[in-house]
Structure 1
Amino acid sequence: METFDSAARRQAEPSGSRAVIVGAGIAGLAAALRLRQQGWDVVVVERAPSRRSSGYLVNLHGPGYDAAERLGLLPALNPRDIGFFTSVLVHADGREKLRIPAAVAEAAVGDRALSLFRGDLESALYDAVAEFADIRFGTTVRAITQTPEEVDVTLSDDTHLRAELLVGADGVHSRVRELVFGAESEHFVDLGHMVGAFPLDTLPTRMPDGVGTTFIGPGRTAAVMNMGPGRSSAFFAYRCPDADSATELDLGAAPALTRAFGDLGGGVADALGQLAAEPGNAYFDSVGQIVMDRWSQGRIVLLGDAAWCVTVFAGYGAALALDGADRLGTALAERGDDIPAALDAWETTLRPEVDKRQALARKGISRFAPPTRTHVWAGEMMLRAIQLPGIRGLVHRAIQRANN
């Protein structure tokens, strides 16, 4: 239910202050929504030629769910919620090895949670901001200068924009970060793994409806979700051969994922077949974190993956993007015209959470890409154990502590 506070913020009239936001993903659109609710005039610049609608499954719980509620997004997100579903661990040929009922996950996480495809979350955010934001697709940033009073942004179409605030929410390969804070190599920490995700237009023929199947082997994970038409997808994560992510990227999504997972059967084989037919549908990139001493400089601030990129191994990137955008709006409201002070205060409150999530992601690598068969076996034993009532309660309390 929308709160009075979020409804009041949505009705705010433009205040004369302008923010330029680079990136129309979750972080950028959430920032646009939050700032508009405070009366800012908002321009959103996006490098892609059009909206993106694919991506992997994201979970919103804890602060991420709370932020979605404060932003007034729940009425739009609730109908797109996949909810809790049965997870099946499978052998390499697709045969069932272990089944985890939906009730187990529900008991562990609680009812204040959403499971969504990334594209659905972005669509809900886009719908919330499209009527008021000036969104410019197929455009990027060419140059940035700033004075104590404003930021001047030159776009790739030679347009000049002046604003009181510039938000770089343009992802792990951020152009804003490169121009203001230095080359990506100064901040990117390569974790030596690749990730791929894409929607499935045709439902897997060897999978029951409403089930997600996962194969976990040494150095790799493959997951296929069959949630019905328009709601099915595949996700892959694997350790790079010789830790050479550049070679994998040059190879391309379909050849690289087929080389890493082509020996698997079941729904994975179906998914790889679809990818080979439509390779342009995939998200495919190396896995790495952005580590920086500061996320702001004057009136320029980085947000989301551009600033911290916790990676898919954390399972918290979308939630942190929403929470970070909401906290940014709060800090700006509290500091009035002193934008540098607001950005400093925002970073002070958010950085401990980011540091924690990045550390959890580094630990989580062994869950997505176990180093040995012994690690695979240990993971399976843990999955079996959490179905026991006593252990289930411990898992629930651990999740609640992680979200506080």
Structure 2
Amino acid sequence: MRNEQQHVVILGAGIAGLAAALRLLQQNWHVTVIERAPARRSGGYLVNLHGPGFDAAERLGLLPALRPRDIGFFTSILVHPDGREKLTIPAAVAQAAVGDRALTLFRGDLETALYEAVADHADIRFGAGVQAVDQHADRVDITLTDGTELRAALLIGADGVHSRLRELVFGPETEHLVDLGHTVAAFPLGHLPDHVPSGVGTTFLGPGRTAAVMNLGPGRSSAFFAYRSPEPKSELSLGPSAALERAFGDLGGGVADALREVAADPAIAYFDTVGQIVTDRWSHGRIVLLGDSAWCVTVFAGYGAALALDGADRLGAAIAARPEDLSAALTAWEAAIRPEVLKRQALARKGISRFAPPSRAHVRATELMLRAIALPGLRTLVQRSIQRANN
């Protein structure tokens, strides 16, 4: 059992956990990362880093590793159910709206860059989770599911929306998870979609559902699905292949290409219900929750990865400012970042209608807005609106 004044145990080797590991390594902490999965996972959906998320990546020293992985801006095409083109949004429009201080990455590429930054300096263990915690005035004793016992000055829970640490310390998931009544799926494409032009992302938008397929070259192509599901848990019981076929099987084009891939190997898909974590505290003594474990803004916010990086970086800064009183440092960090989290959660709830429009009228309204972007005068107004939301 380790007994170190600056030993931190981090549960979860995702973006939030690895970013916290990197930040605290830079502050000379001894870092142990525990990941319940048996090995690292890759792939996933696209994430955008801009505003505070880009700034945090820069402060963490990640930009040299991330820039070569940047997908950049690409042409987006809104399509009919059969895959025919409906309207096109040039890449330059998105670039003008977001600006130059932005990166578009696959979630797995961001995690890889973080992992490579910490792997030689942290103790990273796979295939174990947290079984029990016992907090004292000067330490936290942690028992893992494999029987290992650890002792640390600080325990960070970055073990995802279904956090076991949150359950142990803050109460059962049912007290914190707000079900938003939707299901999402995302997966990489092993074969380039036949019905999507190279360098293009296509999106079908219909009442209660969205399907996006991106052909960005070998190893960089992916699919994303979101749909309204009054009984999300029943969707999970079907599994990704059957559930997506039922929700999107009537569509053609790139969607049909993607559905064939997930039918051949359902294990490639990230597939889960959509819910936000809402709780009135993220820290207790020397224990703190971070990222989806604490707040889960959901994919509808389009800001989860950026907030995970920013939250981890700001957590490290708070600890550095009050190293002699970790409880006070965690409290100060929480007070500072909570307004941003609440803002992003509110934007996500409003953003549901963009991913799963309630009606055909909402679909038409979205299409009109996208067409307006092509008009110089209105484009400026839309871009300013996007920039305000990103900052």
TM-score (norm 2): 0.98
The alpha-carbon deviation at position 85 of structure 1 amounts to: 0.3
The corresponding residue for 1:132 is 121
8 Å Cα contact 1:16-1:41 kept in structure 2 = no
Distance, in Å, in 2 between the alignment partners of 1:353 and 1:171 is 19
The corresponding residue for 2:235 is 248
The alpha-carbon deviation at position 389 of structure 1 amounts to: 1.6
Distance, in Å, in 2 between the alignment partners of 1:104 and 1:295 is 38
The alpha-carbon deviation at position 343 of structure 1 amounts to: 0.4
The corresponding residue for 2:52 is 63
Identify the match of residue 326 of structure 2 among 322, 327, 339.
339
Identify the match of residue 266 of structure 1 among 253, 261, 276.
253
Cα deviations across residues 311-335 of structure 1 (Å, max 9, x unaligned)?
0000000000000000000000001
Identify the match of residue 315 of structure 2 among 318, 325, 328.
328
The corresponding residue for 1:156 is 145
What letter matches 2:375 in structure 1? L
Cα deviations across residues 52-98 of structure 1 (Å, max 9, x unaligned)?
10100000000000000000000000000000000000000000000
Query: Does 1:115 find its partner at 2:112?
Result: no
The corresponding residue for 1:3 is none
The corresponding residue for 2:262 is 275
Query: Does 1:368 find its partner at 2:355?
Result: yes
SS at match of 1:345: helix
Structure 1 runs (4+) deviating above 6 angstroms are none
Query: Does 1:293 find its partner at 2:305?
Result: no
The corresponding residue for 1:9 is none
The alpha-carbon deviation at position 126 of structure 1 amounts to: 0.3
8 Å Cα contact 2:10-2:17 kept in structure 1 = yes
What letter matches 1:134 in structure 2? D
TM-score (norm 1): 0.95
SS at match of 1:292: coil
Query: Does 1:386 find its partner at 2:373?
Result: yes
The corresponding residue for 2:304 is 317
The alpha-carbon deviation at position 398 of structure 1 amounts to: 2.2
8 Å Cα contact 1:194-1:286 kept in structure 2 = yes
The corresponding residue for 1:7 is none
Structure 2 regions of 5+ residues with no counterpart? none
The alpha-carbon deviation at position 16 of structure 1 amounts to: 4.8
Distance, in Å, in 2 between the alignment partners of 1:170 and 1:136 is 13
The alpha-carbon deviation at position 401 of structure 1 amounts to: 2.4
The alpha-carbon deviation at position 400 of structure 1 amounts to: 2.9
Identify the match of residue 209 of structure 1 among 193, 198, 204.
198
Distance, in Å, in 2 between the alignment partners of 1:397 and 1:265 is 35
SS at match of 1:50: coil
SS at match of 2:301: coil
The corresponding residue for 2:291 is 304
What letter matches 2:381 in structure 1? L
SS at match of 1:274: helix
The alpha-carbon deviation at position 395 of structure 1 amounts to: 2.6
What letter matches 1:258 in structure 2? E
What letter matches 1:314 in structure 2? A
Query: Does 1:192 find its partner at 2:181?
Result: yes
Distance, in Å, in 2 between the alignment partners of 1:92 and 1:403 is 31
The alpha-carbon deviation at position 246 of structure 1 amounts to: 1.2
Distance, in Å, in 2 between the alignment partners of 1:366 and 1:45 is 37
What letter matches 1:377 in structure 2? R
What letter matches 2:63 in structure 1? L
The corresponding residue for 1:4 is none
The corresponding residue for 2:338 is 351
Distance, in Å, in 1 between the alignment partners of 2:197 and 2:336 is 45
Query: Does 1:106 find its partner at 2:99?
Result: no
Distance, in Å, in 1 between the alignment partners of 2:356 and 2:239 is 20
Number of aligned residues:
388
Distance, in Å, in 1 between the alignment partners of 2:187 and 2:36 is 20
Identify the match of residue 48 of structure 1 among 37, 48, 57.
37
The alpha-carbon deviation at position 303 of structure 1 amounts to: 0.2
SS at match of 1:358: helix
Distance, in Å, in 2 between the alignment partners of 1:28 and 1:69 is 17
8 Å Cα contact 1:152-1:160 kept in structure 2 = yes
SS at match of 2:56: helix
What letter matches 2:248 in structure 1? F
The alpha-carbon deviation at position 399 of structure 1 amounts to: 2.9
Distance, in Å, in 1 between the alignment partners of 2:380 and 2:259 is 38
Structure 1 regions of 5+ residues with no counterpart? 1-14
8 Å Cα contact 1:107-1:392 kept in structure 2 = no
The alpha-carbon deviation at position 403 of structure 1 amounts to: 3.4
Distance, in Å, in 2 between the alignment partners of 1:121 and 1:29 is 10
8 Å Cα contact 1:46-1:137 kept in structure 2 = yes
What letter matches 1:101 in structure 2? P
